[in-house]
Structure 1
Amino acid sequence: MNVRTKNLICACRRLEETTSPAQKWRPQFHLSPPTGWMNDPNGLCQFRGSHHIFFQYSPFDVQTGLNYWGHFETADFVHYQYHQPALCSDEQFDCHGVYSGSALENDGVLYLFYTGNVKKTGDGYDYVNNGREHNTIRACSRDGVNFGEKTLLLSNSDYPGNVTCHVRDPKVWKDAAGGHMVLGARRRDDVGEVLVYRSGDLLHWTLASTITTPEPFGFMWECPDFFRLDGAQVLSFSPQGVEAQDWKYENIYQSGYCLLDGALEGDYTLSEFQEYDHGFDFYAPQTYEDESGRRILIGWMGMPDSDYAYPEKEYQWTQMLTIPRELHVRNGRVYQQPVAELRTLRRTAAHQTVAGTAAFPAAPAWELEVQCSGAAPLEIRFGGDARFRWADGMCRLELGKSGCGRTLRRMPLETLEQVQIFRDASSVEIFLNGGEAVFSTRFYPADDRLEITAAQAEATRWTLAAMEIRKDGES
């Protein structure tokens, strides 16, 4: 660790120590930054029994800036240890930000792969085709907390000649064939694609193939991911520049996946792009396989370049991550379900048989599960002016003043048989039919009421305890 890194970390610690955890809008069971700004989850992995959740972190301001990698560690998704930033901008090849990337354990060493951002100053730079560097870098650790020497793996001159300066967000994995890496890219003709690399030693990388859609689908594909699950191959990415189509692609930027048939490094076809989440605030998800074989996803509960307001900025912090979700592939789509460990947060349960309208006691943080007929309309009202409705094969999430600029999101769903909602101090995540569809959003409720209207439904609401977060040095 060099002197500049030590000074930056010390400055972070001093700032974080002045931030109270008991501010308004601070979540009880979602990860948020101690201070400043949080965005993309990075480096998700399980290493020596602990889950490590790194994240894009700009500690000195409530907007994205000189990004670090913040770091949470947990054994059970309920009790967390917050560590000092794992990576800082302390080298010439990452001097303007430690951007997104992934983690890989190999022979007892935890490797972090990330994009080092460099922006040149002066006239004549558009920062797309010139004036910018996106370098692929590796750092390593033997304890999962302290990361040593950084190694520059690839720079812009190593990428294909038809791509712009925008090549970033390495996702790395290893199998019997060796090391693999996917990078998101923007071509010079403003078409997004994924670059696929291979390596025999995780140090020297060779371009193996490129993947894109037959017709252009956005100008940039960020945060790529690739995994095999339940007999399917999933190519995940966050395309920028996709126009809205009725109820689809209504956010500024999208996050979703295509099922890939064929070879990642050969002939392939991609299925139609499907969005992971139809809420207002979901972007840049990343997945990993834990030691039990589960495929777990965490996303950023935010949206870049949006006009939405985030009132928690008043308290000098902003943004959060979604709850961890276990993935499965069924019927040609990815299902998402909250990880089972979150059930340990359940406290007081209230059950009602709903035949008309039923109200539950007010609570600031809760989980709700509703079993319904599959055909009859359902409406759930919460937080003063927020409501979720299903009728005639269409889901609608509607927000009033609590949305701070967020108004309506919708999607078709043929039947509705089950709803599971996680409501926190300033967010809500809605899972439908066991994770067939999801809506995630930030919102800022006026009150803690909850009402359900249905012809016939069974509903259980649990109040939820707060997860525990300790900082290094706390007992």
Structure 2
Amino acid sequence: MTLANFVPQRPQLHMTPPMGWMNDPNGLVYFEGEYHLFYQYHPFDTVWGPMHWGHAVSKDLCRWQHLPIALAPDEQGACFSGSAVVDELDVTGLFGGKPGLLVFYTCHKVLSSDPEDYEQSQCVAYSCDRGRTWQRFAHNPILPPPGFKDFRDPKVLWHSATQRWVMALACGQEIHFYTSKNLLDWQFASAFGEGHGAHTQHPWECPDLFELPVEGARNGQVSSRWVLIVGIGATPDNAFGSFTQYFVGEFDGQCFINDHSPHDVMMMDEGRDFYAVQSWSNTPGRRLAVAWLNNWQYANHAPEAGWRGMMSLPRELTLRATSRGIQLCQRIASECHEALTAYPQTIVPQEWLGVGQHVLLASQQAIGRGVLTFTLMPGSRVALSLQQGDHQWLILEAGDEDVALRYTRQGVNGQAAFDNHFACDHAAGSIDGLTVTVEWWCDHGSLEILVNGDTQQRAITQVSFISQIKGSLDVKVLEGSARLLEGNVVSRKEAVAQEKNAVTSCTY
């Protein structure tokens, strides 16, 4: 599939920048009826450059209003990734006794003509007007350069059991934890990471840390657990490119203890394009997260149209007890479902399909969501094309008691970095049982898939460049047999106004 002259269309369901380059989500926080989403931003080019903090707000996670840039590089350096919290009790003394917003970010300062000669420190900015304007803390940095290079991406959270704030920082190949009573003075607590999970030539980055109840826990089992999310960047020794791993364990406000084997690598998403995951703080009752929908191997070389980059759909995160231990599960936020109001279509159940048989469903529009449940006989192989064309397939391979997943993707555009890495054929883990439910979300530039078995789930998120999105669901039986049990498609009208990309009072 040739993409040399491909011009991407704006996604209908996903958040994109008004112009220029976007990567990591930053500073996700809910405050006074608004979801704030900051992001790594270069407004003056469509490739990565001096990092700003772009800023958008939404009341429903679907329609986004872009606000003026919150942070821009200054004499202290560029503004790398970080997080945001609500200072409800004004423990910082910055808000005159009222609640206010704080963002924590990494200041990245290059020290010479060599871009690899840099130092990093942690800084704070605050807003007294619901995030519309921002001031840097007068006594930045709150954590000065430590004497090693990679010291970044502060994730700050409240730890209720110890009644203090915690900061998780990516420090080389580890996550370091700091604690504070007032959000300004921080003390080192512990480190986690050596000998655990995946390590490459690239340092760990973009940590997140939160506690969740465990669904399906029985008597005698733990009722809640902590989740530590860590990003792994693209390096020559890592053919997959950038990806997101997670750990499940215990956190007492000082130390994180991994429940799983140190050698286990648990992928948050098995696709190539789900990175720098961050969750919203201050959202009582649920944990919502979003990721940058791209891969560092080819992100700077993908097709663009004056803007480049998008966020994944917001996902609600849960923990589930499975036969393989406690695992993280995801579902697309309910607000996204509510945005789909046009062209519902039911997929008619089918009897057993044999080799060479397939089901083809076409609808007027396929920007939206589909669900398909079917049973495979042991030894069967089934291929699903969930968007128009043959450039991307999900392959299900049934064993005796589980189903292994693979995905393939094609595409070249004449740029070596893109042509060498975008096309792929990768294993994507397995799920228990032989009855599977595949849920997919299509939009311009993306395909997000959730595959559920009896107790387990796999997520597969992919950049997907196609010239037109017209409804196409093709299920082919390659070996053995499969039975389609139920399914439906709910799509969104293409004519919906792009109000989520409206820009108000922006300065670039």
- Name the TM tier (shorter chain): 0.7 to 0.9
Secondary structure at the residue paired with 2:76?
helix
- 1:461 and 2:445 equivalent? no
Q: Deviations over 1:246-276 (max 9, x none)?
A: xxx7522221111123535247335233111
CA apart distance, 1:303 = 1.3
Moved more, 39-48 or 429-438: 429-438
Counterpart CA distance in 1 for 2:22 and 2:275 is 12
Q: Deviations over 1:317-365 (max 9, x none)?
A: 1111100000000021100100001112211111122434132225251
Moved more, 26-35 or 449-458: 449-458
Q: Deviations over 1:113-172 (max 9, x none)?
A: 0001110224xx573xxx312110000012222112334134554x3x5xx211000000
Aligned 1:39-58 pairs, distance under 5 A: 39-58=23-42
* Inter-CA distance 364–410: structure 2 relative to 1 (3 Å threshold): same
Moved more, 293-302 or 361-370: 361-370
Aligned 1:74-473 pairs, distance under 5 A: 74-90=58-74, 92-94=75-77, 97-107=78-88, 108-122=99-113, 127=116, 131-142=117-128, 143-151=130-138, 152-157=140-145, 159=146, 164-176=148-160, 177-186=163-172, 192-214=173-195, 217-219=199-201, 220-230=203-213, 231-240=224-233, 251-261=240-250, 263-266=252-255, 268-271=257-260, 272-306=264-298, 309-312=301-304, 315-331=305-321, 332-346=326-340, 347-355=342-350, 356-373=358-375, 377-381=381-385, 382-385=387-390, 386-392=392-398, 393-401=403-411, 405-413=422-430, 414-415=432-433, 416-433=435-452, 436-447=457-468, 448-453=470-475, 455-465=483-493, 466=496, 468-469=499-500, 470-472=502-504
Secondary structure at the residue paired with 2:46?
coil
Counterpart CA distance in 2 for 1:267 and 1:365 is 41
Amino acid at match of 1:384: G
Moved more, 42-51 or 351-360: 351-360
* Inter-CA distance 115–270: structure 2 relative to 1 (3 Å threshold): farther
* Inter-CA distance 210–105: structure 2 relative to 1 (3 Å threshold): same
Contact 1:100 1:168 in 2 (8 A): yes
More helix by share: 1
Which of 1 and 2 has higher RCO (CA within 8 Å, sep 6+)?
Answer: 2
CA apart distance, 1:301 = 0.5
Secondary structure at the residue paired with 2:338?
helix
Counterpart CA distance in 2 for 1:444 and 1:306 is 13
Contact 2:166 2:179 in 1 (8 A): yes
Contact 2:212 2:227 in 1 (8 A): yes
CA apart distance, 1:173 = 1.1
Counterpart CA distance in 2 for 1:461 and 1:323 is 17
Q: Deviations over 1:423-458 (max 9, x none)?
A: 101111001118811111111124434123253232
CA apart distance, 1:80 = 2.1
CA apart distance, 1:71 = 1.0
Moved more, 169-178 or 349-358: 349-358
Amino acid at match of 2:408: E
Counterpart CA distance in 1 for 2:256 and 2:361 is 55
* Inter-CA distance 242–227: structure 2 relative to 1 (3 Å threshold): farther
Amino acid at match of 2:15: L
Amino acid at match of 1:395: L
Unaligned runs of 5+ in 1: 1-22, 187-191
Counterpart CA distance in 1 for 2:235 and 2:427 is 17
Contact 1:133 1:155 in 2 (8 A): no
CA apart distance, 1:224 = 0.9
Secondary structure at the residue paired with 1:204?
coil
Secondary structure at the residue paired with 1:183?
strand
Moved more, 57-66 or 250-259: 250-259
Amino acid at match of 1:406: A
* Inter-CA distance 449–291: structure 2 relative to 1 (3 Å threshold): closer
Contact 1:399 1:407 in 2 (8 A): yes
CA apart distance, 1:43 = 0.4
Aligned length: 429
Contact 2:153 2:205 in 1 (8 A): yes
Moved more, 327-336 or 454-463: 454-463
CA apart distance, 1:217 = 2.6
Counterpart CA distance in 2 for 1:267 and 1:139 is 28
Counterpart CA distance in 1 for 2:256 and 2:440 is 41
* Inter-CA distance 275–296: structure 2 relative to 1 (3 Å threshold): same
Secondary structure at the residue paired with 1:370?
strand
Unaligned runs of 5+ in 2: 1-6, 89-98, 214-223, 351-357, 413-417, 476-481
CA apart distance, 1:316 = 1.7
Matched residue, 1:20: none
Amino acid at match of 1:286: Q
Contact 1:134 1:155 in 2 (8 A): no
TM-score norm. by structure 2 comes to 0.79
CA apart distance, 1:243 = 9.0
Identity of aligned residues (%): 25
Amino acid at match of 1:368: G
Moved more, 55-64 or 376-385: 376-385
Moved more, 35-44 or 433-442: 433-442
* Inter-CA distance 343–278: structure 2 relative to 1 (3 Å threshold): same
Secondary structure at the residue paired with 1:79?
coil
Counterpart CA distance in 2 for 1:68 and 1:360 is 43
- 1:71 and 2:73 equivalent? no
